[in-house]
A and B are shown apart, each in its own frame.
Chain A
Amino acid sequence: MAEEELSVSRRRFLGRISLALSGLAAAVVSVPIVAYLLSPLLQPPPEEWRDLGLVDNFKIGETVEVAFDEPSSLPWAGQTSRTAVWLRRTGETDFTAYGLNCTHLGCPVNWREGAELFLCPCHGGVYYADGSVAGGPPPRPLVRYSVRIGDSHRVQVLTRPLQQTIAQG
């Protein structure tokens, strides 16, 4: 009787220790895998000033789309290494840059020169030239980027990750 009990507890011990060791092995292996998969999230968003061209390239009162390089791009990113802003010149040295994404669900807003409005093709969000909401579902004005006039009279914009332009909660 005692011998039987002993062998049962020995069996149980071996079973449990095998499971525990396997679990431990799985946990150890998953540390690098999970860290590797999450690595793009663990790095801080890079912020860099990007050159948009000479101040004189832009007419006062005009809003134009200007593309530039996305700071975090990988060598095989192709077209996705580029991003853009709507750049509006309102005075000699006054520039405003707006994100392309509608604050409703992130669709690309289109500047309509004649209407002096930004229109979103998805759910009809409308913004005035100053980026404030003119109508439709958008909860917030268009996201603004920092702009400065850098050396030799060139307009520069501070990059923002897309994550921030679509999710400014």
Chain B
Amino acid sequence: MKTVINWLDDRLGLSANLKPIIEHPVPPTGWDYTIGSATLIAFTVQVVTGVALAFTYVPTPDHAYESLEFITNGAILGNIVRGIHFWGASAMVLLVSMHAAQVFLIGAFKFPREVNWLSGTMLLVFTFGMAFTGQLLRWNQDAYWAVVVGAAQAARAPLIGDWLTGVLFAGRSVGGATLTRFYATHVFMIPAIIFGLLGVHLYLVLRHGVSEPPTPGVVVDPKTYRRQYEELVHKIGVPFWPDAGWKDVVFALAVGSIVLALAIWLGPPELGNKADPTVVQAYPRPDWYFLWYFALLALIPPSVEDIFIIGFPLLLGLLFVSLPFLAPYGERSPRRRPWAIGIVVFSGVSIAALVNVGSNAPWSPDLGNLTLPAQVKQGLSPTSAHGATVFEQRGCINCHRIAGVGGQRGPDLTTVGRRLSTDELTWRILTGGRNMPAYGATMTPQDTAALVEFLVSRS
């Protein structure tokens, strides 16, 4: 047995070449240094579950949805595999973002690790690319309309807009070639790129060493940094494995347990309705990792939309790429870089707030067949009762809320009678507003009067 092991060791060069790598000396580090390796483990889980799903998934529009239904409801433990892939994707997006934030906070992107940061930026971008393409493979109504909305946004790009939508659609319309394009991108192309970038990223970690936890007042100077780092590692460095690596294992196991628990308890997301371009009863929403951008687009003024839709992602990319060149030297400690803490806190809070507001989407009308609650209609005069019916039938209720029922697109009208007079209400209904249609051409004077009487009674 020993001879076999020795033979393998000699021929593979494990002790000679790999041992020094996994035992390379690193500065003593805290738990925040385990986020990157946990991202790598999450990626591995995604690869394994993704390959498993690909054994059954059929990437054509006529059967993709059915094959996912089979994976979820027919195959043994298929819903767990899909669940792990889904929650694992969330974990990856979260971890890769946290890793970027942590590296930014401790200034680890500075000399000589600029390219570590750049390769990490690309890994971040491609992780979001995986999240977007993966969501589409469900081929449900949300997926179909996400392609359409994505293409409509791409169409805003100057000069190349038309070409971009063509690339997204793989043609002039969403059709037979669209899904296979996203499938090939999600399953072959981006993973291959990620593997390559991971190789570069990890190689650079070895080349420049794991950054030492920053000390306030100790600045990065390209002339002396490398020598200081060597001395530090020589003096207080520990072998990565197992002295530092055990923490990585513990954290990765914790992340894995959470993903598995979510996959078992909550399972994969509902499939919803099958993609159908002719069914307009759709309510397209992206998964949470894009919900903040969806919310942001809804909240900005329409006049800046054209610039924003293309300009904002470009600006973010530019900021990420230029960061190590804007601040290559100097202080690394977040205590001496309060603006770094500010940026991370502001981004985190903004994204959380936008995801929250995006999940409610108060800017969307409620297109259900809504009726006013009974207590609202009780004891109304015949005219007001007719007005209440007009309120329901003419679509007012889809954008305006009364006593908790109705859309939130327009103002809540529960007590509108206190705010507006008969004349003001009539004027607004007949002439409309920036976000409200004018009913002057289509509503009879009797209906208008009844509606206004009903609304005035709301006080």
Seen from chain A, the residues whose Cβ lies within 8 Å of a Cβ on chain B are 40-41, 45, 65, 67, 70, 72-84, 100-101, 104-110, 112, 114-117, 119-124, 126, 128-129, 134-137, 139, 161-164, 166-167, 169
Contacts and interface: CB of A to CB of B under 8 A. Distances in A.
Given A77-B62, A82-B278, A139-B302, A162 B176 contact: no
A115 B129 CA distance: 40
A41 B171 CA distance: 5
Contacts of B176: 73-77, 80-81
B148 interface: yes
Interface in B329-378: 363-365, 367
Contacts, number: 191
A169 B161 contact: yes
Interface residues of B, number: 65
Contact of A67 (B151, B278, B365): B278
B302 A167 contact: no
Nearest to A134: B437
B436 A161 contact: no
B74 to A, nearest CB: 19
A30 B431 CA distance: 59
Nearest to B145: A107
B409 A124 contact: yes
Given A65-B278, A78-B61, A122-B298, 19 more contacts: A76-B60, A79-B274, A79-B276, A80-B176, A84-B278, A100-B280, A101-B152, A105-B152, A105-B297, A114-B394, A117-B395, A123-B298, A129-B442, A134-B438, A135-B437, A162-B148, A163-B162, A163-B166, A166-B165
Contacts of B175: 70, 72-74, 77, 80-81
A136 B442 CA distance: 19
B437 A126 contact: yes
Max chain A C-beta neighbours (<10 A), residue from B277, B298, B409: B277
A157 B282 CA distance: 24
Contact of A121 (B60, B163, B367, B395): B367
A137 to B, nearest CB: 4
B153 interface: yes
